[in-house]
Structure 1
């Protein structure tokens, strides 16, 4: 069966228990239609880049599935109909990565900030206050 990765975004005013209940609901939809959920992660409430349905934040969840296309289509259809779901993104992948997703790894392990200096800012082309006299 094909392998998929899904990111689900639920409304921000849900409780954590309700958001995790939605993950279990969509996991059951996948398994009822002949698929299998390999892994699931709850990423928590995160700020979005832009507002969706007047919401600035949302509960994020990540699913790795091994499911037929019909099961994925049914899950996406039910997510679009569900009032608490704002977005669903499904991507077909060649293989699942081992371990936690990048979002769950610590920021230091990803190497985003290695402590390198930002450089000298004196050589920018802006005006200098000393020259204004």
Structure 2
């Protein structure tokens, strides 16, 4: 079992219910194939760096999950078949990325976060 992060850009014409249903579709796909969801983060509507299918915005969604390595091909096929998906990217996370994501979710400051000192005087 490996840790992965999936980022999907959905077409911006989806309603809130359709956006949530699309998210559920892929989370169910992961769990039905022996994986587990670590975290989900719907970013919502964002501008694209360049037009994709004549669209300048997209609905972003990030999911961190654990799954067997042979599952990625099944996931890729489903993402390519779904017409509401403009782009997708799956990244395998190493132990440092998993630790960083866990600290970020829990609110623990990371090395890159600025810590300001408060002086009493």
Query: 1:62: which partner in 2?
Result: 62
Q: Deviations over 1:30-49 (max 9, x none)?
A: 11111111111110000010
SS, match of residue 34 in structure 2: coil
| Superposed displacement of residue 72, structure 1 | 2.2
SS, match of residue 70 in structure 2: helix
Query: 2:19: which partner in 1?
Result: 19
Instruction: State how far apart, in whole Å, the 2-side matches of 1:2 and 1:20 are.
Output: 25
The question of 1:48 aligning with 2:48 is answered yes
TM-score, normalised relative to structure 2: 0.79
SS, match of residue 13 in structure 2: coil
Measured on the aligned residues, the alpha-carbon RMSD in Å equals 1.6
Query: 1:117: which partner in 2?
Result: none
TM-score, normalised relative to structure 1: 0.72
Give the greater-gyration-radius structure (CA). 1
Instruction: State how far apart, in whole Å, the 2-side matches of 1:15 and 1:76 are.
Output: 24
Q: Which runs of 4+ in 1 moved over 4 A?
A: none
Structure 1, gaps ≥5 residues long: 101-109, 112-133
For these two proteins, the number of residue pairs brought into alignment is 103
